[in-house]
Structure 1
Amino acid sequence: MRVLAAMSGGVDSAVAAARAVDAGHDVVGVHMALNRAPGTLRTGSRGCCTIEDALDARRAADLLGIPFYVWDLSESFVQEVVEDFVAEYAAGRTPNPCVRCNERIKFAALLDKGVALGFDAVCTGHYARVLRGAGGAELHRAADAAKDQSYVLAVLDADQVAHAMFPLGDAPTKEQVRAEAERRGLPVARKPDSHDICFIPDGDTRGFLADKLGEEPGEVLDEDGAVLGTHTGTYGFTVGQRKGLGLTRPAPDGRPRYVLSIEPVRRTVTVGPAERLAVGELHAVEAVWSAPEPAGPVEVHVQVRAHGEAVPAVAEVVGGGTGEGTGEGVRVVLRTPLTGVAPGQTVAFYAGTRVLGSATISGTVPVAG
């Protein structure tokens, strides 16, 4: 097969490309330039898509003896990921930019361009597995549960999964991948993993949003509507948050309080006790299925965070969407309540290790009240 290997400049994508070469594929490496400031330098594990990352990717491609190109996808990245991130927070939701990047850049923009150029698959360093059989390609969890990245790939549809290649899916541990990189002589073998949001390398999400949105002062309320404090923007909060609430007085019972809901139009943040965070039902919109769409209620496990616990639930596709948003809706009744679930998060659906699909959470129903 002709394979387009996405090479970020990290150890995972370098080893994934090497394994694709070993498998006998015709591999071409490509580094996606997503940063509008190409001279940006990397600081330890913070930041990505820097000039150093591009150089590291080129060195790895040279060592593997494969052609290498840099594709400028920065405009698409800004529109589809960064601006979406800002708009979601402005609307009181909590997005996952890594999910959006995989959906709209790596497996939309990159894959579409690769297929148009005659490539059969896109290879990345994600820890997930694609199993191919008579029923087609299936997306599954990685062998290493600690590194499993199937959650951020749950937004892929069936055609995208069919054109995806994840050579690290069967790797027992990340340390073994690093050891393999050292044996191959790849200079990125001990390069630190990237953490935090790549386009906010200093980790100050609230400061980043404040710079984009400006100050929008409002009030922090309890569940009865009493004013407990003020804030400079609802975008500085997310459901389940405990610290940095700016409260002027403690709760009558002395217990901690958490963000329960965010109303960006009224510019209010409502806080309350921990037990009010538990939800028993999710409403989600814009469903995407890599497996056949369920025809009725189906027993699944659902996951709402990249490394969160998967809990049993019953999911049912409902016409016309549920809650706010557009597109096909899904109603999810949780067998085990989840806490701190925010609109805007992705809910991924699993049957065993297989990813069935995903949707964007538009609303929740608390267990209490």
Structure 2
Amino acid sequence: MRVVAAMSGGVDSAVAAARAAEAGHDVTGVHLALSRNPQSYRTGARGCCTIEDANDARRAADVIGIPFYIWDLSDRFHADVVEDFMAEYAAGRTPNPCLRCNEKIKFAAVLDRALALGFDAVATGHYAQLRAGADGVVEMHRAADHGKDQSYVLGVLDQQQLTHSLFPLGGSTKAEVRAEAAARGLLVADKPDSHDICFVADGDNAGWLREKLGDRAPNHGGTIVDEAGEVVGTHEGSYAFTIGQRRGLRLGRPAPDGKPRFVLDIEPVSGTVTVGPRERLAVRRLTGVRPRWCGTAPTDLSGTVQLRAHGAELPARVRVGDAVEIELLEPAYGVAPGQAAVLYDGTRVVGSATIAATA
């Protein structure tokens, strides 16, 4: 097959490209330029989307012996991922930009361009496994190393995208990948993993949102109230908060029982943030919208649901109709509208939906 290897400049994507080439595929390395100004995104070895990362990817491609190109997708990334991130927070929701990037950029814009150029598949360094089902459907399963499993952020991929995807690292551990990179002479063998959100340069999400949104948001200032409606603090923007948040509330008055308080609700129009005890965060029912199915859409499912990257699996019953109704068999805490609920049947990813409401 002719394969585009998406090379971020990190160790995982470099080894994935090397394995694809070693398997006999005709591989071309591609680094995605996602920032209009790479120096405005994270610098140093913690992240991606920097000039340093592009150079690391090019050097890895040279060692592997494959052609290498840089594709500028910065405008598409800004519109589909960065602007979406800002709009979701301004609306009082908590998005996951990594899922949106996979859905809109890596397995849509990149895959569309690759197929148009005559390639057959896109290979990435994600930790997940693809298997052929009995009915010929391509199934996505959790990685062999559950500690590195990234199937959650891939739960937005549909069957057409999975059919044209390769995840060469799905059966390996991170330690094995680093050892292999060193044995292949790849200089990124010891490069630290990326963390946080690639386009937030210092990792301060609230500060970044405050700078970018400012007075653009209708909720650039407001009050923090307790469940009785009594004002216990003020804030500069409700977009700096998420459901379940405990730190950074800067409350002027402690709770009567002295226990910590958590964000229970965000009202984006008035800018009111409601806080209360942790037990009030418990939810047992979720309503999901905009479902994305990895194969045929189910009608009913008894399986598990994961609500955040590297979060715990929770047993659940799911009904699919006009919306995706999820009944949790044990409570979850700190679940926010805008998060993705990814559904599993054993290790197989069934699909995902965006959480619109909780109860």
The aligned counterpart of 1:349 is 343
Instruction: Give 1:42 deviation, angstroms.
Output: 5.6
User: 1: CA distance between counterparts of 2:241 and 2:133?
Assistant: 45
Instruction: Give 1:38 deviation, angstroms.
Output: 3.3
The aligned counterpart of 1:326 is none
User: 2: CA distance between counterparts of 1:251 and 1:133?
Assistant: 54
CA distance change for structure 1 residues 40 and 252 in 2, over 3 Å: closer, same or farther?
Answer: closer
The aligned counterpart of 2:250 is 246
Aligned residue for 1:214, secondary structure, equals helix
**1:51-66 alignment to 2 at 5 Å?**
51-66=51-66
Whether the aligned pair in 1 keeps the contact of 2:143 and 2:149 (CA below 8 Å) is yes
**Structure 1 segments unaligned to the other structure (5+ residues):** 320-328
Whether the aligned pair in 2 keeps the contact of 1:4 and 1:122 (CA below 8 Å) is yes
Whether the aligned pair in 2 keeps the contact of 1:302 and 1:312 (CA below 8 Å) is yes
**1:133-172 alignment to 2 at 5 Å?**
133-135=133-135, 136-171=137-172
Whether the aligned pair in 1 keeps the contact of 2:158 and 2:292 (CA below 8 Å) is yes
Q: What RMSD over aligned residues (CA atoms) do the two structures have, in Å?
A: 1.1
The aligned counterpart of 2:301 is 298
Aligned residue for 1:189, secondary structure, equals helix
**1:145-294 alignment to 2 at 5 Å?**
145-171=146-172, 173-214=173-214, 216-294=220-298
Whether the aligned pair in 1 keeps the contact of 2:232 and 2:253 (CA below 8 Å) is yes
- The letter of the residue matching 2:152 is Y
Instruction: Give 1:250 deviation, angstroms.
Output: 0.9
The percentage of counterpart residues that share the same residue type is 65
- The letter of the residue matching 1:340 is G
Tell whether 2:317 aligns with 1:314: yes
The C-alpha deviation readout for 1:243-280, integer Å capped at 9, x for no partner, is 11121111111111100010000110000001001100
- The letter of the residue matching 1:353 is T
**Structure 2 segments unaligned to the other structure (5+ residues):** none
The C-alpha deviation readout for 1:212-254, integer Å capped at 9, x for no partner, is 1115110101111111111110011000011111211111111
- The letter of the residue matching 2:53 is D
The C-alpha deviation readout for 1:92-141, integer Å capped at 9, x for no partner, is 00001111111100001001111111111100000001112442210110
The aligned counterpart of 1:332 is 326
Aligned residue for 2:258, secondary structure, equals coil
- The letter of the residue matching 1:165 is L
Instruction: Give 1:39 deviation, angstroms.
Output: 4.6
CA distance change for structure 1 residues 239 and 42 in 2, over 3 Å: closer, same or farther?
Answer: closer
The aligned counterpart of 2:98 is 98
TM-score under structure 1 normalisation?
A: 0.94
Aligned residue for 1:188, secondary structure, equals helix
User: 1: CA distance between counterparts of 2:133 and 2:277?
Assistant: 49
User: 1: CA distance between counterparts of 2:79 and 2:210?
Assistant: 18
User: 2: CA distance between counterparts of 1:241 and 1:300?
Assistant: 28
User: 1: CA distance between counterparts of 2:160 and 2:213?
Assistant: 37
Deviates more, 1:207-216 or 1:226-235: 207-216
CA distance change for structure 1 residues 42 and 78 in 2, over 3 Å: closer, same or farther?
Answer: closer
- The letter of the residue matching 1:110 is V
Instruction: Give 1:41 deviation, angstroms.
Output: 8.0
User: 2: CA distance between counterparts of 1:355 and 1:213?
Assistant: 35
The aligned counterpart of 1:27 is 27
Whether the aligned pair in 1 keeps the contact of 2:12 and 2:125 (CA below 8 Å) is yes
Whether the aligned pair in 1 keeps the contact of 2:92 and 2:239 (CA below 8 Å) is yes
CA distance change for structure 1 residues 180 and 80 in 2, over 3 Å: closer, same or farther?
Answer: same
CA distance change for structure 1 residues 134 and 298 in 2, over 3 Å: closer, same or farther?
Answer: closer
- Matched length: 354
